Amino acid sequence: MATSPGRSPALDADPEPSGLLSATVVAGLKNLGGIISPPLTKLLIANSLKLTLHPDATIAPVPELYASNAACAKQSEYAVVTLYALATKHGWDGLQLRQQLEQLALDAGAVDELSRVFEDNRKELILRQLQLGHSFPHITDIQWRIVCDVKSSTSDCSTGVANFHINLGNFRPSSGERETIVEFICNAEELQSLINRLKEIERHCHHMAVA
């Protein structure tokens, strides 16, 4: 993430105890409540959080945020996103975050706001970061239909059995749009055997939880 591999002069001058936050991030945080006024700081933190939790979301443009000092505002946005990502990664709670920020000699109002917003959204931030990284397609939804053939190009008569079309998929967290992961067909016997296998997994999960 935003850990600076090299030691910049700014970091030497103002060392950060945990060593996690780069000089750029620290400088961005110091702008809050200073170069960026307290009301705009609040707005900037809210927007940065929204951007972290919902990268696809449309954020209402706030021209005044970038009107006077666009570079500082962008650096501060980056700093807030990085701070929250690192705090979540290392499992800090609100108090730990506050302690880390207090050592950086930031504006008191900005520290309060950063800590409050983090505390209020800690769960969402953890859930968001659980989605990052590599994993296999995650199934959260299952759809089915029962189909019986009447006639086909290769056979004049029905097979006389109902088949199940099973579609496994999930919903995109950003848009809610459904995505198919895999689709297959099976007969009643095969479906029963699939249910039995899934129940077997569930039973093992239950045993694990009890143990």
Partner 1 sequence: MSSLRLSQQQRDHLTLLQRHSSDVVELCKSAFDYLINGPNPDRYEALAKKYSDSESPEAVQQAVEALISLLISATTRVGSSTVNMQATLRQTFPDLGEDVLEVLEQFVTSKRNFVEGSIKSANIRAYRLVNLDWRLEVRTASRSLLKKCQVVVTMKLYLHTEPKNENRELLAVDMSGRSEQELKAMQEDERLHRKDMLVQTDVSSLVHMIKTLEDALAESKTRRIRNIVEGIH
> Would you tell me which residues interact with partner 1 (CB under 8 A)?
85, 88-91, 126, 129-130, 132-133, 135-142, 144, 146, 148-150, 152-162, 164-166, 168, 181-186, 188, 190-192, 194-195, 197-199, 201-202, 204-205, 208
Q: In angstroms, give the least distance from the CB of 85 to partner 1.
A: 7
What is the number of other CB atoms lying within 10 angstroms of the CB of residue 32? 28
> CB of 88 within 8 A of CB of 125?
yes
Q: In angstroms, give the least distance from the CB of 195 to partner 1.
A: 5
Distance set, CA 169 to CA 64, 138, 191, 200 (Å):
43, 8, 17, 21
Q: Which is nearer to partner 1, 27 or 186 (CB)?
A: 186
Q: Which is nearer to partner 1, 8 or 143 (CB)?
A: 143
Q: In angstroms, give the least distance from the CB of 26 to partner 1.
A: 21
Q: In angstroms, give the least distance from the CB of 8 to partner 1.
A: 23
d(CA 91, CA 20): 13
3-state secondary structure of 183: strand
Q: Which is nearer to partner 1, 71 or 201 (CB)?
A: 201
Length of the chain: 211
Q: In angstroms, give the least distance from the CB of 81 to partner 1.
A: 13
Q: Which is nearer to partner 1, 14 or 190 (CB)?
A: 190
d(CA 157, CA 149): 8
Amino acid type, 34: G
d(CA 201, CA 211): 15
3-state secondary structure of 5: coil
Q: Which two tokens stand for residue 64?
A: 């005044």
Q: Which is nearer to partner 1, 58 or 131 (CB)?
A: 131
